Each structure stands twice: as structure tokens, then as C-alpha cells.
Amino acid sequence: MSIWIIFKLLGSLALLMFGMKSMSEALQKMAGPQLRHVLGAMTTNRFTGMLTGMLVTASVQSSTATTVMTVSFVNAGLLTLAQAISVIMGANIGTTLTAWIMSAGMSFDITSAVYPAFFLGIILIYQKRYRYIGDFLFGLSFLLMGLGTLRMTGTEMHLGENQALLDFFASFDPDSFFTTLIFLFLGGVLTFCVQSSAAVMAITMILCSSGALPIYQGIALVMGENIGTTITSNLAALSANTQARRAALAHMFFNVFGVVWILFVFRPFIDAVCGMVGYDVNMTKDAVTTSVFLANAAKLSFVLAAFHTCFNVANTFILIWFIPQIERFVCWVIKPKKVDEEEDFRLHFITAGFMKTPELSVLEAQKEIQSFSDRMQRMFNMVRELLTLSSSSSNKKDNRDSEFNKLYTRIEKYEGISDNMEIEIANYLNSVSDAHLSDDSKAKIRAMLREISELESIGDACFNMARTISRKYNGKQDHFNEKQYDHIHQMMELTDQSLSQMNRLMMGRKESFDVNRTFNIEHEINNFRDQLKSQNINDVNNREYTYAVGTIYMDLINECEKLGDYVVNVVEARMGLR
């Protein structure tokens, strides 16, 4: 076997993997937002969830993409873990379409058909409106060209006549259960190493179709691929949050359970699949003519695809009735962390290594910004509580300083968290923007970068107010009078309403958001600030309180007004205004 054929084999596998990746990304660009809405709306029960997972995965040709979307919805509270498990089951069925595409590519010479697709694809790529369809055609063409080249390379290698290879596979006892376990393990390890079940499936099809690898061992490899692909997602989910790890474990449990029960009915199940496809398991090379043997062997790629589908459909049919039990099992295995995550800086939705598709990474960043926004309103409410603690003249007498200082320290910690969140999300968005994204997603990233900058400014404003209150509390100045406290509380109530409107927009859909309500609150805040500013000058002149107290008082009022401006900037960025 020449070195050139080895390189041709590796190159065709690379072409196949690149084509699969390009096709999947193009499909997500075409239908990403719509698919996200479908996934959120169609999972009312376990059966619709399973069908949704199947359709979405068949549409985007990526079970990883579906799993990532599903986990993000669980984190956002849009799906329960039980619904997510049903979607993942459906995704396992949807991903078998890939095997059928590959078996067709292995069985027919389709390399000549890809050239018109390439030509049409390049025309569409240069037309802005249809360029994603062009990207999809290019990805599909690369995939089919990789399959065609792989098929021809397999023929050139004469694997079915390679005595060393035949002797290697013949050294395993075909009737031994241990042999099945060896190939099962081999399939899992190969998939984990290559990071592509499609590539390992293509190699298996080549080996089986050439007659080098017996069908039973080939199917054991396919079963190993099913486990190998879940190991990757579980390792990636190690750095993720609790729900992501539970969903990844549920995926692994589904596949491992399927492999375990199929081992008990291994031969009868495979024989039934072979009978369905029309493949004769007992046909040997010596008993029939070469043409008849090759025609029978040509059906092996379809046998592998049919087994992959039958296996996942049967497994889903068994386990779909036990989703609550699976949910309890994964919750029992993976318990939530004991730390108070609210007080701990960590990104909840963005996890290194878990996001594999740029379009979905945008969604994850969006969820993280929602969390950031909610955290800033909690921080503001702590400032209101700090003001209430400082307003009681009996605080110091009752020795409640520790309560005040504890809350101030908590606000200070939140300010550090807001700085870190801005930097981490910005770095993540910058890395995502380096990938090939749709224009819509690029615009979203620009808006999100503006949003996190303004949210961090809200955190700064909250901390400035907390410092002002602390300086007043620990200083020698007089207390605010009752009228001043009332005015500050009124201004803070308006500011809190503004923050609530902002979070309503962040958590919902901008089409149903009334932006005028935010602008009206902002006008109220500005007018109230101007009114208090004039009144403060008169009150200082009338000796109702000292100039120093009036300065601190107006510092808090002005900081609330600035915070309201930051809120408007966030809303404008999310709505695509200015």
C-alpha cells in the first residue's frame, strides 16, 4: 500500500468532516432563530419533545447543536430537564439521517454530480440574499466529494484482498461475545480520538463494503461510536453548570443503556435488520460468483445505516416511558454545588469547550447577558436596603454596624463581579465573532457588546451610591431629614421600575416590548431630578440642612439619574435603536 493512498484516505476523511461542518453551520445560519423558537414551543410533552429533537437535528445535521440549544433552554427555565431528555432522545434519531446520506454516497458514484452543485453554490454565495444556500451547497458538495473519494480510495486499496488485513480480522472469533466487546470499545475510542462519529462511520462502511470487516464487528464499531460521541460532550460539560452536566449524562445513559440491552439480542436484531435491507448474512465469497458477492456487499453500508436508525428508534421507544426515572437518576448522580452561586463569580451559560457552533454561541451569550442584567437589579435593591439601614438613627445604638458593613461588602463584591462579567462576556463574543456568522448574528454581537458595557456602568453607579451612603453613615454629618429620605426613596423607586422594564425586555421578545414605557420613566426621572435640584438649593439657603448634607443628597439623586440613562442605553442597544 503506497503512502499516496494513505494520504488520499486521510484527505478524503478531512473533506468529509469539513463538508459536514460547513453544511451544518450553513443550515443553522438559515434557520437558527426559527429553530430556537420551534424548540421552545413544541416541547409540551415527552412525545412532541422527541419529535422536535428529531426534526431539528435532521434539519441542522448536528445533534450537538440540538443538545446545546436544549441545555440553554433548561438553564433559562424554558424547558424542564425531563423535556430536555425527550429532545435529546429525538436528536439521537435525527442524527441517523447522516448515516443514510453517507450510505448513499458509498453506494453510488456521485462525485460527478457535485461539480454543478459547486458552480451553483459559488453563484449563490456572491448573491447576498442567497449566500447561505450557497454555503450549504458547498458543504454538501464537499461532503459528497469526500464520500466519493473515500469510496474510490477503498476500491484502490483492495481491502477485501489485503491478506494481512483479512488475517487480522479473522484472528477474532466472530462468534465470541468478547470480540463484540473489543470492537465496541474500539469504536468508542476511535470516535473520541477523531471527534467525529461521521468519520468513523465512513471508515466502518469502507471496511464492511470491501468485505474486509464482517458485519457483526462493523455494527459493534457503530455501537461504540454511539458511546464515544457522548464521552466528548460529557468531558466538555465538566466545566459547565449542573443542568448542562445532567443533560450530558442523560445523553450518555441513553446510549449506554441501548448498547447494554442490544448486546443481549445482538445477532437476532442484526439478522432482522439485514433481512429488512435484503442483505444475505450467510453468503460467502467462494459459494457465489464475484459479481453476486459484490452486489450483496454493496448493501452493507445501508445495513449499517438501517441498524443505526433501528437501534435509536427502538431505544427511544423503550426509554421514553421512563423519562421521570432517568431525570431522578441524573439528579441523584450530579448534585447541585453547595456554594451560593449568586455570590460566586462564574458564568452560568457560557462554558469553554461546550459551544461547538457559532450561531448557538450567540444564544448562550444572550442568556449570560440576561443573567448579568438580573444581577444588576439585585445589586440596586441591595443599595436601597443599605439606605434603609443607614436611615435608622438607632442603628449605631443597637450595635447594627456589622449588618450595615456586611451588606456594603456584599455590594462591593457585586461590583467586582460586574467588572469580571463584562470582560469575560466581551472576550467570548470577540472569539465568537471570528467565526463565520450570519449578518443578523454579527449585528447581535455588536449590540451585546454595547449592552454589557452599559450594564457594567449600572454596577458602577450602584457602587458609587453605596460608597456615598457608607461615607454618610460612617461620617460626622447630620442625618438626612424625613423629606430627603422620602425623595431619595421615590427616585430609587422610579429607577427600579426602569430596571424592571429593562429586565422584562432581556427575558422576553423585543417584538412585544413597549419601548415608550422606558422612555417615559426616564423623562420622569429627569424631571424629578431637576425639581429636586432646585428645591435642594432653596432648602440649603433656608438652613433646613447643611451644604455638606445637601451635596451627599444630590450625589445620590444624580447617580440614580445616570443609572436611568444607562438603562435606556441597554434598551436601545437591544431594540436596535441608535
Q: What is the pLDDT of residue 352?
A: 47
Whether the pLDDT of residue 340 is over 60: the answer is no
Average the pLDDT over 508-514 and give the result. 78
Q: What is the pLDDT of residue 394?
A: 46
Give the DSSP H/E element, type plus range, for residue 350. none
Report helix angle 81-94 to 242-264, nearest 10: 50
pTM for this structure? Answer: 0.65
Q: With CA atoms as reference, report the closest residue to 555 among 493, 463, 476.
A: 463
Contact 144, 114 (CB under 8 A): yes
**Lowest-pLDDT range, 53-57, 294-298, 369-373, 463-467?**
294-298
Q: With CA atoms as reference, report the closest residue to 374 among 570, 530, 186.
A: 570
User: What cell does 288 get?
Assistant: 457465489
Whether the pLDDT of residue 558 is over 90: the answer is yes
Question: b or e along 106-137 (b: 16 or more beta carbons within 10 Å of the residue's beta carbon)?
Answer: bbeebbeebeebbeebeebbeeeebbbbbbbb
Whether the pLDDT of residue 378 is over 60: the answer is yes
User: What cell does 483 get?
Assistant: 423629606
Contact 43, 170 (CB under 8 A): no
Q: Which domains can be identified in the chain, with CATH numbers?
A: 3-333 (no CATH), 358-575 (1.20.58.220)
The CA radius of gyration of the chain, in Å to the nearest whole number, is: 31
Q: What is the pLDDT of residue 537?
A: 92
Q: What is the pLDDT of residue 473?
A: 84
Report helix angle 46-60 to 63-76, nearest 10: 130
Structure-model confidence comparison of residues 546 and 128, the more confident one: 546
Q: DSSP letters of 30-45?
A: HHHHHHHHHHHHS-SS
In one-letter notation, the amino acid at residue 510 is K
Q: With CA atoms as reference, report the closest residue to 371 among 568, 506, 518, 573.
A: 506
Condensed to tens digits (0 to 9), the pLDDT of residues 379-414 reads 999 999 998 888 765 455 455 677 888 899 999 998
Question: Residue written as cell 474510490?
Answer: 152
State the pLDDT confidence band at 334, using cuts at 50, 70 and 90.
confident
If DSSP codes are grouped into helix, strand and coil, which group holds residue 461? helix
Angle at 532 between CA 528 and CA 535, to 5 degrees: 140
In percent, how much of the chain has pLDDT > 90? Answer: 17
Condensed to tens digits (0 to 9), the pLDDT of residues 150-183 reads 777 766 666 656 666 667 777 777 777 888 888 8
Average the pLDDT over 552-577 and give the result. 92
Whether the pLDDT of residue 312 is over 70: the answer is yes
